[in-house]
Structure 1
């Protein structure tokens, strides 16, 4: 079983058998209640306006190439990325087909809050630029 993911999860971690079948004496997590002193406090004044406080920022328009994302999670990934855009921000998307079903879903979910324009129209790739307005 070494190196293989479990096929089912029971919701409880046996304290005697841990990852990769290695024996351990660590009790289950519910036996370690989190106290206030165990929590890390973040000074909210360190958060930059409109940013995440990591100290990094994008100079260029980010590109999301969804051709490498599994189909089962592709649209959710795109909606998550678009949801992270602030008004005025843009994102480019590369797909292996004209994403008309995605655009219909996006119009239903976002209305006119997110606009798009085609930068490239196939046949190998379709590139769209999305702009968040609200």
Structure 2
């Protein structure tokens, strides 16, 4: 396989992975199943249960839209920078609201670092294609 094709396949894999992760996180625990932990995060911020459920669904819809952007032709550096900022922001929010989540087996640290690493790799491939081709 030539280097240019390998470069393109690598970016496709990154974009598909980020799309799946964002869409899953928006759809499964926030919209379809309304996970207790997701609701609890909103309630710990002072929202009542009804408002927390609504905010959870809205945030799920936003995550699905964001994930879908990775499936479109809109695969710019800005999208990856936004992903990194989002992952850092969400991690910081959870750390402030309830740091206990970071001690669990499946915790925000693991997924957020992995998603940031994917975007950092994509940024490198997008910024310096001549070094990778």
The bucket for the TM-score relative to the shorter chain is: under 0.3
By relative contact order (CA 8 Å, sep 6+), the higher-ranking structure is 2
Structure with greater strand share of residues:
1
Structure with greater helix share of residues:
2
TM-score, normalising length: structure 2:
0.22
